[in-house]
Structure 1
Amino acid sequence: MSMHAALEMSSIKPEETYHLRHSVLRPMQMLADCAYPEDKQAQTLHAGCYLNGRLVGVGTIFREDREEVAGRIGWRIRGMAVSSEARGSGCGGAILQTLLNHARMQTSTEKEIEVWCNGRANVEGFYRRYGFQRQGEIFEVPPIGPHVLMVRFG
């Protein structure tokens, strides 16, 4: 059986994202730092990826326009985290697709959507595979490290 066969996607509670956000993205910070202000907004979605029944990946999307852009509905992705043993399983892509679908379904069709994130520089290639493009230069997010602004339209 391939690993893909055992992947399951589900929407989860914000608190269920904290462990992976902490262990994968912010091990140098407190668990409390893994709660984002937007976690409980009405249109926010937290997607969880389960491999053989275990939560191994999470991602969050919520409404946030970028200040530099007018006339588009902005959706921001945060907290994309996949445990080391599940990397390469398709889990990250399944989460990202779930988040993109949510943004499309929550936005009226006459508006143009922009989905964006401040991703770690080392995962730029992952976002590019899903139609995102880097805008601007690499920038530092203390104490986490180098990031890039990745943007996708529609």
Structure 2
Amino acid sequence: MMRALLLVLLMLPLLLATAPSLHAQVAVDATPLAFDDAAQEKRFHRLVAELRCVMCQNQSLADSNAQIAHDLRREVLALMQRGMSDAEIKDYLVARYGDFVLYRPRVDARTWLLWFGPLLLIVAGGGVIWRIVRVRGRDAAPLPVDESQEW
């Protein structure tokens, strides 16, 4: 009895992993996007590569298969077809979803730490290392000269 229970407990993760209803569904776009010309398509692909999927967080809008990414790609194309510039489209999406939607957030008062924080950490770390080396070098007693050793 105990052996059968142990076997069931060991097989349970395998059964759950293979259950088809538990796997995530990839959103399939029923109708492909229709571009007016090749220049518009190139501009579209460049723009959606610079925008982040608001659901996936680590994928661009171009790479994501989430349903919201499909919707946002359609919205970006609609905004382009209305004659909005790339900057206007980005402003529209930032107003709606926040700075997170941009892969390269703008440099302003709210994002200066994001842009310059790593540089500040490197400078501070270098200063700490320089100070430690200087203090240890000053406090260290000179080694005695051993005349008996031959080189």
Please give the range of the TM-score, normalised by the shorter of the 2 chains. Answer: under 0.3
Higher relative contact order (CA 8 A, sep 6+): 1
Greater fraction helix:
2
Greater fraction strand:
1
Q: Which has the larger radius of gyration?
A: 2
- Structure 2 length normalisation: TM-score? 0.26
